[in-house]
């Protein structure tokens, strides 16, 4: 089993969650349990204890579902500077039902995959598709054990299901350092209107496309720049560090910008 315990960031997120009533008192079932499909027995009991895997998973779902201010959501496309809206990120991770992003899938926990944070399994024969979440993202003291990384990784894995739904090959590519990564596809912040992150175009006149590591980095960028004031400075700053680590290490064509700088491609 994973080492129990919670760091400062998970405790900060839980405090923010409690301040807005994300986990209703006495209900027993927090928001996101069914929508993100945490019904697999591998999650154990529904327990708010942030030292344990289930509580940490809800922390990350909270960042996805309530962490962003959605700056520009009510404006025309030319006014929006957040990469994507909350509804897009939530819909992409909503495994419990078919939608414009993917067919249904569920989240499952395992201790069987070494140092990997998560992986997706799509097109399974006679079985439901799934995202398998590994121990390192819950293992107290592990590099991956933080709510910002966990949330971004959930979005990353959801995008592999988007790829499968839209007939794109979902394998990562080998990078010069031997690691695995993706292409980065430059686009304006307004290229994907809120509610349409699922869309894409490969035409030269209107090209816009996203890779799994790109949606991971863009969510973290959004969380850093447009996170709600109830999130701690430490959480906001960690989102920037996680985003820039992704931009530095996970692309065959790393973009020149870094989170904290003015948005490029405008």
Q: Which of 90-99, 117-126, 196-205, 226-235 has the lowest mean pLDDT?
A: 196-205
Decide if 198 is inside a domain: yes
User: 260 lies in a domain?
Assistant: no
Q: Which tens digits make up the pLDDT trace of 179-190?
A: 999 999 998 888
Cβ pair 113, 124 in contact under 8 A: no
Nearest CA-CA partner of 131 in 98, 162, 107: 107
In a domain, 2, yes or no: no
pLDDT tens per residue across span 72-122: 654 334 345 799 999 999 999 998 788 899 999 999 999 988 888 999 999
* pLDDT at 71 (0 to 100): 81
**21-40 pLDDT, tens per residue?**
888 777 689 999 999 999 99
Looking at the domain assignment, is residue 165 inside a domain? yes
pLDDT digit string, tens, across residues 115-158 = 889 999 998 887 889 999 999 999 999 999 999 999 999 999 99
**CB of 106 closer than 8 Å to CB of 39:** yes
The answer as to whether 47 is a domain residue is yes
pLDDT at residue 73, rounded to an integer: 55
Query: Residue 197: inside a domain, yes or no?
Result: yes
**Cβ contact 104:128 at 8 Å:** yes
The domain containing residue 212 runs over which residues?
8-249
The sheet with strand 105-110 has its strands ordered as 105-110, 129-134, 118-121
Q: Count how many domains the chain has.
A: 1
Say yes or no to pLDDT of 239 above 60: yes
Given pLDDT bands bounded at 50, 70 and 90, which one contains residue 261? confident
Interatomic CA distance for residues 266 and 260, integer angstroms: 16
Residue 266's pLDDT is 57
Looking at residue 167, what DSSP letter applies?
Answer: T
The answer to whether residue 183 sits within a structural domain is yes
Tokens (6 digits) for 120 = 């997706």
């Amino acid at each position: 089993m994973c080492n129990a315990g919670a760091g400062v960031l998970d405790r900060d997120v839980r405090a923010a969650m409690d301040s807005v009533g994300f986990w209703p008192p006495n209900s027993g079932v927090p928001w996101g349990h069914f929508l993100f499909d945490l019904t697999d027995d591998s999650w154990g009991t529904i327990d708010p204890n942030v030292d344990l895997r289930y509580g940490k998973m809800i922390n990350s779902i909270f960042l996805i579902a309530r962490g962003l201010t959605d700056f520009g959501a009510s404006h025309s496309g030319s006014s929006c500077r957040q990469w994507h809206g909350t509804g897009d990120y939530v819909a992409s991770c909503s495994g419990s039902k078919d939608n414009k992003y993917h067919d249904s899938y569920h989240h499952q926990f395992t201790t069987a995959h070494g140092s990997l944070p998560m992986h997706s399994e799509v097109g399974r024969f006679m079985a439901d598709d799934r995202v398998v979440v590994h121990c390192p993202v819950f293992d107290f003291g592990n590099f991956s054990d933080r709510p910002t990384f966990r949330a971004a990784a959930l979005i990353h894995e959801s995008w592999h299901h988007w790829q499968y739904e839209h007939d794109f090959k979902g394998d990562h590519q080998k990078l010069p350092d031997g690691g695995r990564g993706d292409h980065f596809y430059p686009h304006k912040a307004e290229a994907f209107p809120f509610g349409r992150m699922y869309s894409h175009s490969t035409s030269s006149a209107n090209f816009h496309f996203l890779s799994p590591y790109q949606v991971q980095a863009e969510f973290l960028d959004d969380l850093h720049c447009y996170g709600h004031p109830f999130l701690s400075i430490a959480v906001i700053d960690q989102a920037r560090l996680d985003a820039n680590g992704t931009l530095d290490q996970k692309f065959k064509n790393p973009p020149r910008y870094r989170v904290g700088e003015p948005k490029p491609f405008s």
